[in-house]
Chain A
């Protein structure tokens, strides 16, 4: 916690920050959901031309706060001043009228429509389509985010889709743009492009409120940072004068344990999972085909598959888990062909799987944790089912063990899965599989949207599992994570997988190039 001197300094800093240049001044904003105080007397000042980072762990109250600025939530207390006047922002339309725009983390685009049609839908007065199209072309080119208005959204990669959202926002000439984790879907090169655009916007006097978990980029582009913890502002700082580690410790309120890959070089053993020319057609128009994916995953190592979202990671996971059947010889677990076998059969071969989506795929939202243990372990000889009947005491015992070993925090015993926070639920779904000591573990996005403390715990557990002789495959979009834990790195792009190379020989630039299509050409040559 900040000591008194620091608090005083912060107060002074805050008073100094308000002035003629102040665009938005929030005072004592409070929002309560039931018993949870999501925002507790939050003060925030945003000045013109400033890129302002909003930092905090999951559940710290960042989304709640920006939703109040964007008019989708109503504060229970406190007030918002916009350019010196007190305002009530009743709905997103009112926010847009004031000049506040927002780019969401999850896009709200119609895939079957074109770029210009999507933008027209969001504008109050779109005018003639041809005029709008030429405006889109001009604005998008001016800001270095070129778009072709006639393209159909379904054909566009995620990075371009984000451009649509940003251009849509820019067309309304906002004075404040709120961005929720904009780079989580971008390649490093695309992110660089976005930063140029943001800097240009700031130069023109537009303010940006920037939410991100990536502290390096916050350090790089943000002028000011406000850090939330448990719904309260704990610190404000100039991120350029901090290190990523100091920012992280302000967020979590303690030093983050760094993950250790173990000083010993991993003892690499036999191939435990072999993908051999794994191919599958795209099941829907919006899915990605897999094209001759090959990989040997050996005992003792962690192999990571990097790639931008939507390049076949989900399909690859489904094929390996058995939710999407393929030809038998394409997948071997411990040298047994199993491409046509179901997921339960593969689990009985001591393989385990953690999907990307925690709620609704990895766990049933409305069921208790103990029932969610039965979900993946009913066939694996844990004594959970005998003679077709479920043993409730056995499931409860496992639930207690996993809760304890993986530090899953909950308000009361055996709650429904949906009542857990994202990080705690992720610890649970990973812990549920690790608890079995699987020989082969496939994890898709192990720490997506998980706070720093939980992420470190999960990553360490994955490394420890590999060092104990299992093979671990991690599919991730987070390069920091990949370089932290992987022994070898492969990159997936448009359903092609690059050769897995030792992590020590890989650089971020090289991974970025492979993400942007290098993996594809490598795959086609091979």
Chain B
């Protein structure tokens, strides 16, 4: 007796939509079991982890705040991964974007006009794109492995940030703390919807929707998908793999840089030695949990953001280690992949071969 995975001829469209929800359900079940084993009431713990953050204004705001950069970076990464470009350096592109976006409010604090904020966002996107183009050019020109180069540039970027806020960009009136000056009002991203979220969130959602349209309806989106699945067929179609690599990296870098600028302008309001709790890396999980599809990424971004907030919630309310957040993220990834496998394959039980001829040949 053994179990075989047999490829399904047709994939159920319904299940394709339902599978992430089933995965979330299974994750909750498994998480409940873990809470039970560690001596807590699983229902209360699950409530505090998954539901309560959504019922209170402050924790809902925090979830949206955290989800926004994850979604924006994840969308850019999806374009890279769909086209077979393994950009692991979104964290660095996020930081360099934040630096480019901050140079106006930090070096020219008196430049306060309606153009300040739009200029900052443009510079931020530009900075992230330029930083991302380094591994892209190295790949297209010298055939280097973009996984390594993009990852290494993360550390370069965070050291540049560290140097700037401790050195030349330190706040002159800041008692030698390693911080830049606080951004002026003109350089601060406003809040919308009665303070529920910063302007960053609607901007992110609009960009995700545009990207969803581009990927599914346009020739560019077609090119991205063809190149990812079959580069040889892509070149037969007349698409250039090198140009697409540059495009995908530049786009992912620009979105990460934009996220970085919006994070410092909307949330932190100044530059600090550390400006990201690893958004650029977590966004990789977000991109794959969302199946490299912008709509999926929006949902995945919220789920992962919720797991951070929920982890803090159970820690403060019930004394459970907030490492439970990582466990639950891992469980979620596991269940999503397992559900996806069952969309593509089905189980078949195979008993040990029974010779059919045996009886007839007596």
Contacts and interface: CB of A to CB of B under 8 A. Distances in A.
B6 A34 contact: yes
Interface in A380-411: 385, 388-390
Nearest to A386: B219
A411 B204 CA distance: 42
Interface string B347-362: 0000001011110010
Interface residues of A, number: 42
A323 interface: yes
Interface stretch (A48-56, A109-117, A362-370): A362-370
Contacts of B361: 27
Pick the most buried of A30, A34, A321: most chain B CB atoms within 10 A of its CB: A34
Nearest to A344: B238
A344 B229 CA distance: 20
Nearest to B225: A367
B9 interface: yes
B119 interface: no
Contacts of A322: 238
B353 A364 contact: no
Interface in B290-304: none
A75 B352 CA distance: 11
A229 interface: no
Contact of A77 (B9, B226, B232, B356): B356
A367 B221 CA distance: 13
Contact of B218 (A27, A34, A379, A388): A388
Nearest to A392: B217
A364 B356 contact: no
Interface string A319-332: 00111000000000
B9 A321 contact: no
Contact of A321 (B217, B236, B356): B236
A343 B230 contact: no
Contact of A388 (B7, B220, B225): B220
A445 to B, nearest CB: 15
Interface in B206-253: 217-220, 222, 225-226, 229-230, 232-233, 235-238
B356 A375 contact: no
Contact of A360 (B9, B225, B230, B357): B230
Given A78-B357, A344-B238, A362 B219 contact: no
Nearest to A33: B6
Contact of B226 (A86, A367, A379): A367
Interface of B (DSSP majority class):
helix
Contact of B222 (A78, A365, A366, A371): A371
A88 interface: yes
Contact of B238 (A347, A360, A390, A419): A347
A390 B222 contact: yes
A375 B219 contact: no
Contacts of B7: 34
A230 interface: no
A178 B219 CA distance: 47
A244 to B, nearest CB: 35
Contact of B232 (A75, A360, A371, A388): A360
A17 B113 CA distance: 97
A375 B226 contact: yes
Contact of B237 (A77, A366, A375): A375
A37 to B, nearest CB: 14
A79 B356 CA distance: 8
Contacts of A353: 236
A126 B200 CA distance: 67
Interface in A270-320: none
A28 B360 CA distance: 11
A174 B205 CA distance: 67
Nearest to A90: B353
A413 B226 CA distance: 21
A212 interface: no
Interface residues of B, number: 24
B229 A364 contact: yes
A361 interface: yes
Contacts of A419: 9
B357 A342 contact: no
B353 A390 contact: no
A361 B6 contact: no
B84 to A, nearest CB: 13
A376 interface: yes
A388 B221 CA distance: 10
Contacts of A34: 6-7, 9
Interface centre among B218, B220, B230, B238 (most CB of A within 10 A): B238
A149 interface: no
A419 B7 CA distance: 12
A80 B319 CA distance: 66
A217 interface: no
A344 B358 CA distance: 62
B2 to A, nearest CB: 11
A78 B356 contact: yes
Nearest to B235: A323
A381 to B, nearest CB: 14
A182 interface: no
Nearest to A28: B357
Contacts of A363: 233
A353 B356 CA distance: 50
Nearest to B236: A361
Contacts of B357: 27-28, 77-79
Interface in A62-102: 74-79, 86, 88
Nearest to A343: B238
Given A78-B356, A379-B238, A389-B217, A364 B9 contact: no
Contacts of B222: 371, 374, 378, 390
Given A27-B357, A342-B238, A378 B219 contact: yes
Q: Among A30, A343, A375, A390, which residue has the most Cβ atoms of chain B within 10 A?
A: A375
Contact of A35 (B9, B226, B236, B358): B9
A73 to B, nearest CB: 12
A389 B218 contact: yes
A375 B9 contact: no
A339 interface: no
Contacts of A79: 355, 357-358
Contact of A364 (B218, B219, B230, B355): B230
Interface of A: 27-28, 30, 34-35, 74-79, 86, 88, 321-323, 342-344, 347, 353, 355, 357, 360-367, 371, 374-376, 378-379, 385, 388-390, 419
26 contacts: A27-B357, A28-B357, A30-B356, A35-B9, A74-B353, A79-B357, A88-B353, A321-B236, A353-B236, A355-B236, A357-B232, A360-B232, A361-B230, A361-B232, A364-B226, A364-B233, A365-B230, A375-B226, A375-B233, A375-B236, A375-B237, A379-B238, A388-B220, A390-B219, A390-B222, A419-B9
Please name the 5 residue pairs, one residue from A and one from B, whose CB atoms are nearest each other, closest first: A344-B238, A77-B356, A343-B238, A364-B230, A375-B237
Given A323-B235, A363-B233, 5 more contacts: A30-B356, A77-B356, A344-B238, A378-B222, A419-B9
